[in-house]
Amino acid sequence: MTIPLLDYPLSSQNQRVKGFEVPGDEVAKIYTLQNLPQGTEVDEIVWACYRQIFNEQQIIAFNRQVNLESQLKNGQITVRDFIRGLLLSDSFRRLNYDTNSNYRFVEICIQRVFRSLPIHN
């Protein structure tokens, strides 16, 4: 004799179960170009990338990468390529690599790109 299946709605008390979580302010907004955002949404993505890669004091008009921004807005590059371009830019090298030791530079890159602290042995 088999046990019959019960038909009931899915619910969970555990907020860590994927798909049942209720995101709040503590959850970071994930920016993507999958749904092809328009106008100001692309500008928000650009500034979110700048805030992530550059320090607060380093975000000035001189350090903007206008060519990369234009390519991103036209859909020629992805957000990943845009961030890669920011990391390889002359201003990032000048402000971060040239002024810090190699160990500190690696730590800065891990903090800003992966948003986590490096593990020290």
pLDDT tens digit sequence for 65-107:
889 988 888 888 888 899 999 999 998 898 888 999 999 988 8
Spatial distance between the Cα atoms of 64 and 50, rounded to a whole number of angstroms: 8
Q: Report if pTM > 0.85.
A: no
pLDDT digits (tens, 9 = 90+) for 37-66: 677 788 888 888 888 888 776 777 777 888
Spatial distance between the Cα atoms of 11 and 17, rounded to a whole number of angstroms: 10
CATH 1.10.3130.20 corresponds to the domain 40-114: yes
**Residue of 110, 104, 56, 71 lying closest to 87 (CA atoms):** 110
